[in-house]
Amino acid sequence: MDIHETQVCTAVIAPIGRIDAFTAPELRAALDRHVVAGTIRFVLDLSDVAFLDSAGMAVLVTLLKRARTAGGNVRLVWPREEAAKRILRLTKFDRVFDMADSADAALGGF
Amino acid sequence: MSPAPAAPQPVLVRLEIPAEHRYLNVVGACATALLGRAPGLKEAEIAHYNIELALQEACTNVVDHAYAGQPGRIVIEFSYIEAPRQLTVDLYDTGRPFDPQMAGEPPLDEPQVHGYGLFLIRSLMDEMAYESSPAGNHWRLTKKLW
C-alpha cells in the first residue's frame, strides 16, 4: 500500500505595535521565511497593530500576490484600533483581502 | 471706542530630524502631543491617527524619493491656531524635487504595492501643496479641526 500524505499549513502571524517604514522590513523578513518554507496560506492578525502606514500595506499586498500566485491566500484580522480600521476601508483593503473578526474565524475560512 | 480684539496668534513648534525611517515616528508623536491639549476636539483619536499617518507618509516620501538613501535633514514646522481651529504642517528638505508623475491615484480595486502614500495624504488632510525652489522642497499640509 502506498500512502500519499499532504499537510497544508496556515501561518498565523500577529504583529504587535507599529508597522511603519522602519519596522516593515522586519515583518517582511518574518513573512519571507514562511514563503520560502512553502507556506501559501496566511492569517495576518492585525488586532494589536496600533499603526499601519503604506510601507506596511506594501508588505501585506506583496504577500497577498505571492500567496495567490502559488494558489494560496492571505486573510486579515481587523485591527482593534478604530482609526486603523477606517484606513483599511479607505484603501479598500477590506475588499482586496478576505477580512475576519478573529484569527479563529480567519482560520475557519480556509 | 475700544480697539478690535487681536487676531489669535498661531502656536508654532519647529522640529528638525535626520531623514531616516527610524526617526519619523517623532513627527507624528509631536503632532499628537500638540493636539492632545486642544480642548474638546471631536473624534480626537481618529484625528490624531489620521494626521500622524499623513505626516508619516509625507516624511517617508522625503526619505525614499527626495533623499533616496542619501543623508539629509527634514525640518517640520507645526502651526496650530484655535479660531478657526486648524493645524498647518510645513515640511522642508533639500533633496531632489518631487516628480509629479508619482502623483497618480492608485487603482484601489486591485491590490497595489505602491501609490498609497500620496493618496493617504490627500484623503486625510484638507490641503496638500508642494513647491520646489533652489533652496529645496516645501510641502504644506493643512487639517481643519472641529
Could you read off the pLDDT of B107-141 as tens digits, one per residue? 888 888 888 999 999 999 999 999 999 999 999 99
Contact B21 A21 (CB under 8 A): yes
B38: pLDDT confidence band, cut at 50, 70 and 90?
Answer: confident
* A89/B contact by beta carbon, under 8 A: no
| pLDDT of B35 over the 80 cut | yes
Q: Which residues of B touch A65 (CB under 8 A)?
A: 111, 113
Contact between A27 and A56 under an 8 Å Cβ cutoff? The reply is yes
Strand duo A41-45 + B11-18: pairing: unpaired
ipTM of the complex: 0.92
Contact B52 A51 (CB under 8 A): yes
Q: Is B50 helix (H, G, I), strand (E, B) or coil?
A: helix
Q: Summarize pLDDT for B44-71 with one digit per residue, the tens.
A: 999 999 999 999 999 999 999 999 989 9
Q: What pLDDT, on the 0 to 100 scale, is given for residue B127?
A: 96
Point out the residue among A87, A96, A97 whose CB comes nearest to the CB of B53: A87
**Closest listed residue to residue B113, CA positions, set A105, A22, A96:** A96
Report residue A95: phi and psi, to 5°. -100, -35
**Is B144 within 8 Å of chain A by CB?**
no
Q: How confident is the model at residue B1 (pLDDT cuts 50, 70, 90)?
A: low
Chains A, B: CB contacts within 8 A come to 68
Backbone angles phi, psi at B135, to 5 degrees: -80, -20
Q: Which three cell numbers stand for residue A62?
A: 506583496
- Per-residue pLDDT of A6-18, as tens digits, reads 777 899 999 999 9
Is A95's CB within 8 Å of B50's CB? no
Question: Where in chain B are the domains?
Answer: 19-105+114-144
Contact with chain A for residue B46, Cβ under 8 A: yes
- CA angle (B97 as vertex; B58, B62 as ends), nearest 5: 25
Is B22 in Cβ contact with A22 (below 8 Å)? yes
Mean pLDDT of A66-93: 96
Query: Mean pLDDT across the stretch A32-59?
Result: 97
Beta pairing class for B85-93 and B73-82: antiparallel
The runs of H, that is alpha helices, within B14-132 are: 25-35, 44-61, 116-124
Fold for the domain defined by B19-105+114-144: Heat Shock Protein 90 (3.30.565)
Query: For residue A2, what pLDDT band results from cuts at 50, 70 and 90?
Result: very high
B68 touches chain A (CB under 8 A): no
C-alpha pair distances (Å), A18 with each of A46, A88, B129: 10, 15, 28
Of B25, B45, B114, the CB nearest to A58: B114
